[in-house]
Amino acid sequence: MKKMFTIVGVFNYLMVAFLNAFTDLGHKIIIQNTIFKVYDGEVQIILTAIVNALILLPFILMFSPAGFLANRFAKHTIMKYSSLFAIFITLLITYSYYQGWFLFAFAMTFLLALQSAIYSPAKYGYIKELVGNRFITQGNGAIQAVTTVAILGGIIFYSAFFESMIGDRFVTNEDILKQIAPLGWFLVAGSVIEFYLASKLPNKMLKKHKKKFIFKKYFNATYLHKNIITTIRKRETFEAILAISLLWSISQVILAIFGEYAKSNLGITNALQVQGVMALAGFGIVFGSIIVSIYSKYYINTGLVAIGAIGVTINIFLISFSTSIYIISMLFLFFGVFAAFILVPLNALIQYISPNVHLGTILAGNNFIQNIFMFVFLSLTTIFAYLGMDAKVLFYLMGFVGVLLIILTLKRYIIMSLWASIDIFLSFRYKFVYEGLQNITKDGGILLLGNHVSWLDWFMIQVPIERRINYMMDKDIYNYKLFNPILKKGEAIPISPKSFRAGFKDASNRLKSGNIVAIYPEGEITKNGELSKFQKGYELLTKSNNVKIIPYYIDGMFGSIFSKYKKNQKKTIFSRREVTIKFAKPISNTTKADELQIIIQKMKDNI
């Protein structure tokens, strides 16, 4: 993360994103707090849902134009002119506050969101251009955290001033707007500073596109059809967008109904307190983004996504059953943490696997699908509220939507989720240090051979390698009912003394297909910390395969609770054990077992 901030333009870019979110959120909070003060019951839920819908509609309507602009022009230029447009909008909004024009200010929410809809694909597409694939997860984590801090800051800042400026001196929504009118100048100032910083961003556009926007194709939905196909062409991209859409839909409904829920079920009438509780979800997103960045230092860790879906769903149900504002506050905080587990990896994944030529279109399509989902959910919320449905029942419904999110994410990321769960659990006890990771190439068959010191060796080797490793393992363990479904899904290769030929043939075919295969030449876990005699079996895999042999050595696990050496374990049970895993440069695939043992022994001696 520190290295990413040395890139020219990163700080300016994050500040531009901060100010954009802070300004957009400021006006929304002022309108929502006005509604909260003046209206009750289903009217409050309906008007809050309409405000949110006005924010969503521009992202739906501007799908094709926003995607075209992000592909056609330099993304920093789009951000600059969008922020210039925001200056004029905020001036109009400020004027409407002074005049007490509630309906006009209400409607201006749409125009402010229109600016954001054009701005958004350029903002997210610029991450990949600015920091590259190397820091793409960290970049998304930073932008998610900064945007969330802006939202939190906006909620607290504008709600605090709102409460202090109106007190009990109001009768109508027009009275409220006139009393808080000076807040509009903060919106204007934020837009002016944003424009100045955006004008300083470096141009990272590698290739100019000369496409022209044909309005006829926009109005007859030709662009819409074509761009949707471009967006969902890759199944992995579509499923990622779908998961994000479900999460944001759940979030939008909860934000729309929590004010009424707090009023009717918890007896809370202070707008700052209500907004403050919801703001804790934002703090959670910041913490969650940091956690995702830590666990994604080697590659985009999609295993966190299903964990996030489970956490979000559990928190929704717990909120609906809780009556203490303090417990609910903590649940909102954890809701945000788990939401970040979904948002950061999946946004990074969408950017990473999208070709640059279509990146703007796909990111705009991402916004389009998300906002279609959120608009539909908010419309249903409005209908249910109009029919008199209790806010608590709506919480239950969102919980069941969360169950669908769990099913969707587990179906795609179940193995990665298992890896991520183990990684998180073990990180409290172990610190894994890797050397020579550059020797593991991104393609081509690789045979990993090294020492066997604990029951966790398989896991430690896999953690920093994005490509899945096909481990050769004992057939009896492979066939164990509890483990077999997971091992089969993880593409392990069973072997036994009686049917070793079939196992080695399977491993040979996988190497030919460009996979990574791992085998322990010792055949068993060491009991004394020394290398046992290497078996020759792996030599069968290299005779007819043009593969790379990469030796490795694990140091620091001997004597742990996962090794076969059981002495002196209490000395380190409350401390974090540091384990070093070193990968050597590829060696000849004709290397014999005794030669390999000498190579790995030298690695051991040099650590």
Q: What is the pLDDT of residue 571?
A: 53
pLDDT > 90: percent of the chain: 23
Helices 41-61, 102-131: inter-axial angle, 10-degree rounding: 50
Question: How confident is the model over 396-454, as pLDDT tens digits?
Answer: 899 999 999 999 999 999 888 988 998 898 888 899 999 999 999 888 889 999 999 99
**Residue at token pair 């020492």:** 451
More confident residue, 568 or 276: 276
Q: How far apart are CA 433 and CA 412, in angstroms?
A: 29
Question: How confident is the model over 81-127, as pLDDT tens digits?
Answer: 888 988 999 999 999 989 888 888 888 888 888 888 888 888 878 88
**Nearest in space to 366 (alpha carbons), one of 146, 120, 132, 130:** 120
Q: How far apart are CA 27 and CA 452, in angstroms?
A: 60
Give the pLDDT band (50/70/90) at residue 598.
very high
Give the pLDDT band (50/70/90) at residue 573.
low
**Nearest in space to 242 (alpha carbons), one of 116, 360, 411, 124:** 411
Q: What is the pLDDT of residue 566?
A: 62
Residue 276 in contact with residue 154, Cβ under 8 Å? Answer: no
Least confident of 237-241, 251-255, 309-313: 251-255
Give the pLDDT band (50/70/90) at residue 326.
confident
Q: Which domains does the chain have, with CATH numbers?
A: 4-427 (1.20.1250.20), 431-606 (3.40.1130.10)
**Three-state DSSP class for residue 518:** strand
Query: Mean pLDDT over residues 534-550, rounded?
Result: 83
How many distinct helices (H) and strands (E) make up the chain?
A: 22, 7
Residue 191 in contact with residue 86, Cβ under 8 Å? Answer: yes
Evaluated on CA atoms 158, 161, 167, 169, the torsion sign reads negative
Q: How far apart are CA 34 and CA 360, in angstroms?
A: 36
**Residue at token pair 């609910």:** 328
The 469-474 sheet, strands edge to edge: 430-435, 577-583, 548-555, 446-450, 516-519, 469-474, 493-495
How is residue 327 written in tokens? 């417990």
- In the predicted structure, residue 568 carries a pLDDT above the cut 70: no
- Counting beta carbons within 10 angstroms of the beta carbon of residue 168, is it exposed (0 to 12), middle (13 to 18) or buried (19 or more)? exposed
Integer CA distances (angstroms), 548 to 452, 512, 545, in order: 20, 11, 9
- Which helix (H) or strand (E) segment holds residue 432: the answer is strand 430-435
**Residue at token pair 């239950």:** 396
Question: How confident is the model over 281-302, as pLDDT tens digits?
Answer: 888 988 898 899 889 888 889 9
Q: Tell how strand 469-474 and strand 493-495 pair up.
A: parallel
Question: How confident is the model over 8-53, as pLDDT tens digits?
Answer: 778 888 898 888 888 888 888 888 778 877 777 677 777 777 877 7
- In the predicted structure, residue 572 carries a pLDDT above the cut 70: no
Backbone angles phi, psi at 6, to 5 degrees: -80, -10
How is residue 498 written in tokens? 């009686």
**Three-state DSSP class for residue 251:** helix
Integer CA distances (angstroms), 554 to 34, 534, 568, 583, 597, in order: 62, 16, 19, 9, 14
**Nearest in space to 350 (alpha carbons), one of 429, 255, 239:** 239
DSSP 21: H
Q: What is the pLDDT of residue 544?
A: 66
